[in-house]
Each structure stands twice: as structure tokens, then as C-alpha cells.
Amino acid sequence: MKIYTKSGDKGTTSLVYGSRVSKKDQRVEAYGTCDEANSMIGLGLSYLKAEYFDGKEKFEGFFHKIQTALFHVGAELATPSGKEVKWKLEDSDIKELEEQIDFLDGTLTPLKNFILPGGHPAGAALHSARTIVRRAEREAVGIGEDVNPLVLSYLNRLSDFLFVAARYINQQLGEEEKNLHQ
């Protein structure tokens, strides 16, 4: 099988089950933005080295779950209304994010001010991924009532997780957070 099909050369692409839509279709915008976020998460993880902090394998294992779940979100967004979604998002995916947020946040210095994104390249990439997830959430909302509410909840919670994870990485690696009014 070749990687190129030429079927998108005229500005259309296929949704799940084969219906053709414009590459500017709201669904394509939404799942494409999830793909961007997934790539940015991968970039952030590529900056981490085992010697940076204890538990890197467990941390990366959880991110593997997140990246897989983002594919499930994409499948939900790429499935036309009235069709069965093959890779379904579950309530447990959101619950697991909440548990990780609570765990990581419990290790962090409480926030007293807004902070500026940045720090270690891994933390900065996760801050970027967070903003991309927020855009994916806005794109998904734009689809309307046909979106599984779990998708919106997952994206909302994922952006919160990425914020906390970026802070966690920066704290673990000794990067000082810069307050908005420093």
C-alpha cells in the first residue's frame, strides 16, 4: 500500500465510513487539531531523558494512554452523525485524567499568580500542546450537537492535565516558573 492516494488532491478527504467532505469541514478541523496536539505531546516527550527524574517510565506510560485516547477522540470526531464509532471514548478515560491531575497537582507549589508558558523544552512543548487541545475543544464545539459529550469533557480535562504536567516537569527539572507580573 502506498502512503499517498491522490484522493485528497482536490481538497476533500474521507470521514469514517467513506463520506467525502472538504478539508475545511468542521469535523476535519477538529480531528486535525487533535492530531496537532498529539504531535506536540510527542515532541515534548522527546525532550525527556531517564536521568531527569524518577518515574519517567510511568509518566511516559500515562502519556502513551493519552496519545492513544487522542486517536479515539479523533475517531469520534471523524465519524459522521448516526454512524457507530469504532474506538469509543469512555468515562474512565476522563476519570483517569482527573486522578493524574490531582496526583501531580498535589506535588506542586500552589499557584498564586498566572504563570507564563515556558521552562524546560519538554514543559514548554506541553504548554503548547495544552493550547492546541483548547483549540481542538473549540473546533469540536463548533460541530454542534452531533459531538459525543465525552469528547468535550476529555479535551477540557486534557488541557488541564497538560498544564499541570508542564508545571510538574518544570518543577522536577528545576525550572523556575515566571509569573505574569515578575
- Please provide residue 116's backbone torsions phi and psi, each rounded to the nearest 5 degrees: -90, 140
Burial 62-92 (b: 16+ CB within 10 A, else e): bbeebeebbebbbbbbbbeeeeeeeeebeee
SS3 of 21, please?
strand
How would residue 80 be classed by pLDDT, with cut points 50, 70 and 90? confident
How confident is the model at residue 2, as a pLDDT?
81
Which is it for the CA torsion 27, 33, 36, 41, positive or negative? negative
How confident is the model at residue 52, as a pLDDT?
59
How confident is the model at residue 14, as a pLDDT?
82
How would residue 140 be classed by pLDDT, with cut points 50, 70 and 90? very high
How confident is the model at residue 63, as a pLDDT?
92
Cβ(81)–Cβ(22) below 8 Å: no
Cβ(107)–Cβ(167) below 8 Å: no
Distance CA 114, CA 151 (A): 27
Higher pLDDT, 147 or 56: 147
Mean predicted lDDT score pLDDT of the chain: 90
pLDDT in tens, 6-48: 877 788 888 787 788 888 889 999 999 999 999 999 999 999 8
* The three grid cell numbers given for residue 105, joined into one nine-digit string: 497537582
How confident is the model at residue 74, as a pLDDT?
94
Q: What is the DSSP string of 80-141?
A: PTTS--SS---HHHHHHHHHHHHHHHHTSPPPSS-B-S-SSHHHHHHHHHHHHHHHHHHHHH
DSSP H or E run through 20: strand 20-22
Distance CA 33, CA 27 (A): 10
Which residue has 474521507 as its cell numbers?
A: 14
pLDDT of 51 strictly over 60: no
Output the pTM of the full model. 0.91
Tell me which of 15-19, 54-58, 145-149, 167-171 is least confident: 54-58
pLDDT in tens, 86-125: 888 999 999 999 999 999 999 999 998 899 999 999 999 9
Residue 33, number of CB atoms within 10 A of its CB: 22
* The three grid cell numbers given for residue 55, joined into one nine-digit string: 518515574
Q: What angle do helix axes 121-143 and 149-172 make, rounded to 10 degrees?
A: 170
